[in-house]
Chains A and B, each alone.
Chain A
Amino acid sequence: MIYLAQDPTLADFGKDPWWLVVGKVLFAFVLAVLATLLGVWFERRVVARMAVRPGPNQVGPLGLLQTLADGLKMAFKEDILPRTADKVVYFFAPTISVICAVTALSVVPFGPMVSIFGHWTPLQVTDVSVAVLVLLACSSMGIYGIVLGGWASGSTYPLLGGLRSSAQMISYEVAMGLSIVAVFMTAGTMSTSGIVAAQGDATQLTVFGTDIPAPGWYAILLLPSFIIFFIATVGETNRAPFDLPEAESELVAGFMTEYSSLKFALFMLSEYVSMVTMSAVTTTLFLGGWRAPWPITLWEGANSGWWPLLWFFGKVITLVFVFVWLRGTLPRLRYDQFMRLGWKVLLPINLVWILVLSGLRSIDHFDTRSRLLWTAIGAGVLLLATLFWPSRKPQPQPSLQERVNNRPHGSFPLPPMDLQVPPSPRTRRVVAEREPANIAAGPESREV
């Protein structure tokens, strides 16, 4: 397949006129705010569908303006400053969160080179040779917002929530960084546009003499990295089932317990923006970025012009749906289970996988991509087999009465199996009998 000169390289950046730079920055910012407005609505509608209820459907068409109404209401609420709060830090914490979440969007490639008012420019705010590290830096600075918010509130639950979140995000950042290492090794670059370009050329897979074009997505080539990365992003964005920093059954609302009005809205904004940002990053690193998936690529113009924006946002919305789906499905993990998953499962698997990857790359006379593809297919088959492997034949269940009879002496007492409610000592209560009142007749029949 012939690609026109669509793929931006690092040399294409830094040549925009000032109005184009401002326009791109504005686009990223507006996208972040819109993503929050629509994201909250999307999440509430989808979770509602999963819980078989309608969800918000009153304000605007399909309830689309519900978030706007809620946001306006929130802005007019009283902004409470706790007496024990550290005022300056309390004020700055939500802004740090939002700034970091939005900044990360600046290195996400939304599309290929396009022509804007005669300027041939990439659809990306900027790109540097270490763009993925910029993303990591943003997410690691974003922790400060949560931790400082928790600390500055000056009460116990927010502090616990903040400390939890810092421990959680630091440990999941390790797993996240290690899964990106595999991407770096395969793509040979750290710039986001370079990584998208590296996933562009389809691998030719020879099966029984016929060439089959297989996608170059790193989600397939580097399947273990993709799975670990996605789990880590859920942990990194504090989303269910990893929403321990704001576990409402334990910590009221965690780090944002004391926040109200616009500051609370900023925390909400940063949560949804970082969810969208992380989906965009996952798309860029593992799902081919703005490139169209296979059946669409049969059309020659799929990867040029403004069309890639559509594919990109399609992938991002799919990933956001997965985030919501996880929230609607899984219960929250306990803190020790969560930490065990991060340090004892994700980290060792990641290290072993990187070792295997470098081993595969260092074998001579063998194409790396098709080798990786075969590995990925093997890993996928293994995964499916473990998922659908028939469990052992179930033992015949003893009947309820047998199980009751087999209970050892001193067990917790059970109510009688043929439970009948014993007669109340007051069953003989008699309802007072009265003459039926007759008020229809004249004054002579008044004595009722």
Chain B
Amino acid sequence: MTTQTVLAAAGGVSGGEQVTFWILAPLALIGAIGMVAARNAVHSALWLVLTMLCLGVFYVLQAGPFIGMVQIIVYTGAIMMLFLFVLMLVGRDASDSLIETLRGQRAAAILLGLGFAGLVGTGIYRALKGVTAVGLDQANAEGNVQGIARLLFTKYVFAFELTSALLITAAVGAMVLAHIERRKQDKMDQIATMNARFAPGNYPGPKPGPGVFATSSSVATPARLPDGRLTERSTPDILPVRELTAQEVSPKGTDK
């Protein structure tokens, strides 16, 4: 199979794998540093996306195409997207302030972080020095996806089910917390809303404007309803309703 032949052949590192690694490893590191260093929360999340994408490609490189793609789809595509969703709703100008509340905290954090990274790095390097990977071909013998499926549904089925039960409980819990109980009669669907809007006694449209007719342009002139009646809703309450007399609507003789 291509993925297996091109990628990690057990015991050796192929040229393509090395090139990909040395391109993506610095990128992943830059992403990690950028995530910590970025002041804007959304930028921070984007740096993390870069790191996760690189990790996904690393998994593919190490003959685990399924887990690599799942890393990209689930972590980068769905989970980070929801993170972004929340961050964007928080507000785009919510940058962190640079004022240290604890004196010397940043320097100490950098020092401790470097020390920890050095410890872990050297520890892993010394532990894995000269160790050759075995069993990769057997694990992928019947295909990567099939191998994972076999393990998930036989050996680790209990752990798998427990994890899914935990996740479902969390989802249901979140839904219960966010749920608002509404009485049945308070729920209005589209049809009910429209019926209520056009029910007798309710005026469906905006309030009619006061009359600007051919004879008058006064806000005191009430508007006419479709059947010709005058409506008081159109005039301000403080103004007396004033209807034009026959004399006022008669031609003034100026336009002759």
Residues on B with C-beta less than 8 A from A310 are: none
**Residue on B with the closest CB to A422?**
B228
* Contact between chains at A130 and B215 (CB < 8 Å): no
**Residue on B with the closest CB to A126?**
B2
The A interface, classified by DSSP as helix, strand, loop or mixed, is loop
State whether the Cβ of B23 lies closer than 8 Å to any Cβ in chain A.
no
Known: A130-B144, A130-B145, A137-B72. A151 touches B88 (CB 8 A): yes
The CA-CA distance from A86 to B66 in the complex, in Å, is 35
The B interface, classified by DSSP as helix, strand, loop or mixed, is helix
* Contact between chains at A143 and B228 (CB < 8 Å): no
Known: A11-B2, A163-B88. A141 touches B72 (CB 8 A): yes
**Residue on A with the closest CB to B71?**
A137
* Contact between chains at B2 and A14 (CB < 8 Å): yes
**Residue on A with the closest CB to B76?**
A141
**Residue on A with the closest CB to B80?**
A144
* Contact between chains at B76 and A128 (CB < 8 Å): no
Residues on B with C-beta less than 8 A from A141 are: 53, 72, 76-77
Residues on A with C-beta less than 8 A from B198 are: 412
* Contact between chains at B256 and A133 (CB < 8 Å): no
Residues on A with C-beta less than 8 A from B5 are: 14
* Contact between chains at B226 and A13 (CB < 8 Å): no
State whether the Cβ of A410 lies closer than 8 Å to any Cβ in chain B.
yes
| Residue among B40, B69, B144, B201 facing the most chain A CB atoms (10 A cut-off) | B69
State whether the Cβ of A394 lies closer than 8 Å to any Cβ in chain B.
no
Known: A128-B65, A425-B249. A147 touches B228 (CB 8 A): no
* Contact between chains at A170 and B203 (CB < 8 Å): no
The CA-CA distance from A162 to B66 in the complex, in Å, is 29
* Contact between chains at B81 and A409 (CB < 8 Å): no
The CA-CA distance from A133 to B85 in the complex, in Å, is 24
- CB contacts under 8 Å to B, within A213-247, are none
Please tell me which one of the listed residues B77, B85, B201, B204 contacts residue A167 in the complex, with CB atoms under 8 A apart: B85
Q: CB-CB contacts of B44-62 with A at 8 A, as 1s and 0s?
A: 0010010001001000000
The CA-CA distance from A89 to B42 in the complex, in Å, is 10
* Contact between chains at A137 and B1 (CB < 8 Å): no
**Residue on B with the closest CB to A133?**
B69
Please tell me which one of the listed residues B77, B84, B227 contacts residue A140 in the complex, with CB atoms under 8 A apart: B77
* Contact between chains at B214 and A424 (CB < 8 Å): yes
Residues on B with C-beta less than 8 A from A428 are: 251
- From residue A407, how far is it (CB to closest CB) to chain B in Å? 7
- From residue A87, how far is it (CB to closest CB) to chain B in Å? 12
State whether the Cβ of B225 lies closer than 8 Å to any Cβ in chain A.
yes
Residues on A with C-beta less than 8 A from B1 are: 10-11, 129
Please tell me which one of the listed residues B46, B69, B201 contacts residue A89 in the complex, with CB atoms under 8 A apart: B46
Please tell me which one of the listed residues B43, B65, B88, B225 contacts residue A130 in the complex, with CB atoms under 8 A apart: B65
* Contact between chains at B251 and A425 (CB < 8 Å): yes
State whether the Cβ of B250 lies closer than 8 Å to any Cβ in chain A.
yes
Nearest 8 pairs of A and B residues by beta carbon:
A140-B77, A133-B69, A410-B200, A14-B2, A425-B249, A413-B227, A415-B226, A411-B200
The 13 listed contacts between A and B (C-beta, < 8 Å) are A127-B2, A129-B3, A130-B144, A143-B81, A144-B81, A147-B84, A151-B88, A163-B89, A166-B85, A170-B78, A422-B228, A425-B250, A425-B251
Q: Give 12 new A-B contacts, CB below 8 A, not counting A14-B2, A140-B77, A413-B229.
A: A14-B6, A128-B3, A128-B65, A133-B65, A137-B76, A140-B73, A147-B81, A151-B92, A163-B89, A190-B145, A409-B200, A415-B228
- Residue positions of B touching A, CB distance < 8 A: 1-3, 5-6, 40, 42-43, 46, 49, 53, 56, 65-66, 69-70, 72-73, 76-78, 81-82, 84-85, 88-89, 92, 143-145, 198, 200-201, 203-204, 214-215, 225-229, 249-251, 255-256
